[in-house]
Amino acid sequence: MTTSPAQLVTILSASIAPVIVISGVGLLLLSMTNRHSKVIDRTRDLLKDLEAAQEPSRQESLLAQVRIIYRRARILRLAIVLASLSILFVAVTVLLLFTSQILGIAVEYLAIPCFGLSLFALIGSLYFFIRDVGLSLAALELETGLYTRRPEKQTGG
């Protein structure tokens, strides 16, 4: 069975949106893996500092930061897995669309839910990515707490 140029145009136009999703999610995935790598490096640095720390208050602060960083690593891992699943579902969607167009088999009942799953995975990934950003600020606040606290307001007149 041969595919006409008109059919190829239909196939390519049907796969444009999913391919754009792959590009966008791929860039997000790159950002997430870079953050994950930095979190792992930061954890190793904090653990070295924790082993060298003598003051109990410094040890407590470093330990709190390590706990937050560990939570961040787990959250980022989940975000990365969901983003990867999103790309996988989009790739399956494109494959189903090609199969549908080339073989003339109606697989829309699979392609549409598959694309929907990719969007849900993307939403979940973005949710956890946003949580990581919030946690990174919490860790920074612990680290810089002594230096960034505002002086008490003066009362009196």
**Segments making up each domain of the chain, as ranges:** 5-146
- 1 band by pLDDT with thresholds 50, 70 and 90: low
Q: What is the pLDDT of residue 85?
A: 97
Mean pLDDT of 17-22: 80
Is pTM beyond 0.85? Reply is no
What would the pLDDT profile of 57-81 be if each residue is shown by its tens digit? 888 888 988 999 999 999 999 999 9
- Signed CA dihedral, 14, 20, 23, 26: sign only: negative
Is it the case that residue 132 has pLDDT exceeding 90?
yes
Mean pLDDT of 25-37: 93
Cα 127 from chain centroid (whole Å): 8
**Dist CA 90 CA 93 (whole Å):** 5
